[in-house]
Amino acid sequence: MEYKWTVLVNTTLGGLMGSINMTIVLISLPTIFRGLNIDPTAPGEFIMLLWVMMGYSIVLATLLVTFGRLSDMYGRTRLYTIGFIIFAAGSVLSSIIPDGSGNNGAEMLIAFRMIQAVGGGLLMVNSTALITDSFGPTERGRALGINQISFISGSLIGLIAGGLLASSNWHLVFIVNIPFAVAGSLWSVFKLKQTTKRMKVPMDVVGNAGLGGGLVLVSLGFTYALVPYGTSSMGWDSPWVLGSFIVGTALLFIFVFIELKARYPLFDLHLFRIKPFSYGNFANFMSSLGRGAIMFLVVIWLQGIYLPLHGFNYSSTPFWAGIYMLPMMVGFIALGPIGGALTDKYGARTFATVGMIIVAVSLYLLTLLPYNFNLWEFEAILLLNGIGSGLFAAPNMTAVMNSLPEESRGAGSGMRTTFNNIGQTISMAIFFSIAITIFSQNLPSSLLQTSLSIGLPTPLATAISKIPPSGALFAAFLGINPATSFPSSMLNLIPPSALRALTSLTFFPNAIGPSFMIGLKDSLYIATIITLIGAVLSAMSGGRYVHGEGYTNGKDKTKLSGSEHRESTSKAPDNSHWSKK
């Protein structure tokens, strides 16, 4: 096999493994918590659930640029192989957590998932850089598009495998990663080779501390903003959250100042002078910001409202929600390689821009649906969303990676992925907060009226109307009927006929549906605007640009003359201080 295809297949395996791990854990959370003997809806346990969900992403968001820089210095192939080994170790450790270990088991799971995140981060950063190293400028788009399929396919496999494996034994959710990780490690050791020069420069310790500390604090701020504080359903006014934002933002500003003065910076900020790199990263950030939490809210829409209304038991809704999201993945898989191939031939700007516009249209179309929607309309909109996302992803990634000099591809890939992860974290905090805030304003009266309509006494109906909105939504997300989480002392006071109605599959969907849709639609309107801003940024990214060649004209790579090309080459970063190892 030609070496470049060996690289593509191996990195695709790494992407497949990482994305399987993300979704297989999410869909298996109810079974995992039952195995650990934890009720995630109980008071005080919400933070455990949040850390299991978000801890992996926080590690990725804070370490990716550092991982990329280390890879540029010590070899991308070497760090990529180490990533496989670390990921395998995290999977093995997660698979041996004892049943019934309670919060201690949950804390071990959080820690071991973070170890997995370290391995996954090394794989993510270096897979893109290795493909860019191995394929020429006229082939990278197609290769990166094919590689992107592995992430989406892995998400699909994770949803299905999680539903099947967790029903047998929750430890299998982590054991299934181990053969992939071992095979990838051995393949990397024996087949991959270092094809680019390694750079012998000192590590920017101060820059690492500034960037890592700032990103950790900002990420923690957005995470804990989802935790109720005092009498508020959210934590935005918590002094810990506010302090995290203030100190984290200050550290990020200090990082910029440090990097501009450093002789050997962690990341060469002058790369942002290259339009395809800067506008491509900002467009990617807007894409993640606009879509991250929205897709999470759409999953809650399916699991908490639509599927129970149509006779699906809550315990099976996580699995079926994954099945119902298939059209979006199909659209992405179909357009990913096509978008990449078109980018190789015609450049990235047009396709990335059109892709973002299609995503924005699909988000707006979701606002037109009622909570008990027509299935075919919903699936068609998801397919459109996947098509737009697939048309955007590979061109955007290709434009960013083509603009980087060889010695900065690891750090540049880390910066791109950091934009993506931070966008998703912020998206989760902002849109979930919007949905919960509006949901909280309308839910109590809706629950009260629905409870009274099924014959509940007024005191019990009033008590039910006071359940925490975030608890109700996360219970639905975890495949738990929120009514069953009420104290037994309360349930014993309810007349049998009213109790049957309360615990039926239709009570909560009809009670929360109208309130939830108000918050979801407002979030979708904002997400649509953010995505359109991303489309504008993609359109402003300039023509086809390859580092070292400037702006080129299509497939023949004829250099363009003119002020734009002269400006871009005059502002290209000075890397003369680098030396061969």
Tens-digit pLDDT profile for residues 227-284:
777 777 778 888 988 999 999 999 989 988 888 888 878 777 888 888 888 898 899 9
Q: Per the confidence metrics, is the pTM higher than 0.95?
A: no
Residue 555: predicted pLDDT:
47
Q: Is residue 578 part of a domain?
A: no
Q: Is residue 579 part of a domain?
A: no
Q: Is residue 412 part of a domain?
A: yes
Looking at the fold, whether 316 and 461 belong to one and the same domain comes out as: yes
Q: Is residue 581 part of a domain?
A: no
Residue 199: predicted pLDDT:
65
Are 502 and 494 contacting, i.e. CB atoms less than 8 angstroms apart? yes
pLDDT in tens, 119-145: 988 888 888 888 888 888 778 778 887
Cβ-Cβ contacts under 8 Å for 279 (sequence gap 6 or more)? 537, 538, 540, 541, 542
Domain of residue 231: give its range: 204-265
Structural domain ending residue among the three candidates 202, 219, 240? 202
Looking at the fold, whether 456 and 376 belong to one and the same domain comes out as: yes
Residue 462: predicted pLDDT:
82
- CA gap 272, 286 in Å, rounded: 16
Sign of CA dihedral 299, 305, 309, 315: positive
Looking at the fold, whether 363 and 440 belong to one and the same domain comes out as: yes
For 545, the 3-state DSSP assignment is strand
- CA gap 339, 394 in Å, rounded: 6
Looking at the fold, whether 294 and 193 belong to one and the same domain comes out as: no
Are 62 and 251 contacting, i.e. CB atoms less than 8 angstroms apart? no
Residue 421: predicted pLDDT:
78
The C-alpha angle with vertex 133 and arms to 339 and 424, in degrees rounded to 5, equals 55
Looking at the fold, whether 111 and 243 belong to one and the same domain comes out as: no
Structural domain ending residue among the three candidates 220, 235, 265? 265
Structural domain ending residue among the three candidates 152, 178, 202? 202
The C-alpha angle with vertex 434 and arms to 432 and 437, in degrees rounded to 5, equals 105
CATH code for position 3: 1.20.1250.20
Distances (CA, A) of 116 to 12, 57, 112, 467: 18, 11, 6, 35
Looking at the fold, whether 410 and 551 belong to one and the same domain comes out as: yes
Residue 374: predicted pLDDT:
92
Which residues does the chain have with pLDDT short of 50? 554-581
Q: Is residue 577 part of a domain?
A: no
Q: Is residue 144 part of a domain?
A: yes
Looking at the fold, whether 186 and 304 belong to one and the same domain comes out as: no
Looking at the fold, whether 225 and 255 belong to one and the same domain comes out as: yes
Residue 93: predicted pLDDT:
92
- CA gap 397, 403 in Å, rounded: 10
Looking at the fold, whether 185 and 232 belong to one and the same domain comes out as: no
The domain total for the chain is 3
Q: Is residue 394 part of a domain?
A: yes
Residue 484: predicted pLDDT:
65
pLDDT in tens, 183-242: 888 888 888 877 666 666 677 788 888 888 888 888 888 888 877 777 777 788 889 889
Strand arrangement, sheet containing 550-553: 545-546, 550-553, 558-559
Looking at the fold, whether 318 and 397 belong to one and the same domain comes out as: yes
Q: Is residue 580 part of a domain?
A: no
**What number of H helices and E strands is found in the chain?**
22, 3
The C-alpha angle with vertex 512 and arms to 510 and 515, in degrees rounded to 5, equals 120
Looking at the fold, whether 449 and 532 belong to one and the same domain comes out as: yes
Looking at the fold, whether 537 and 491 belong to one and the same domain comes out as: yes
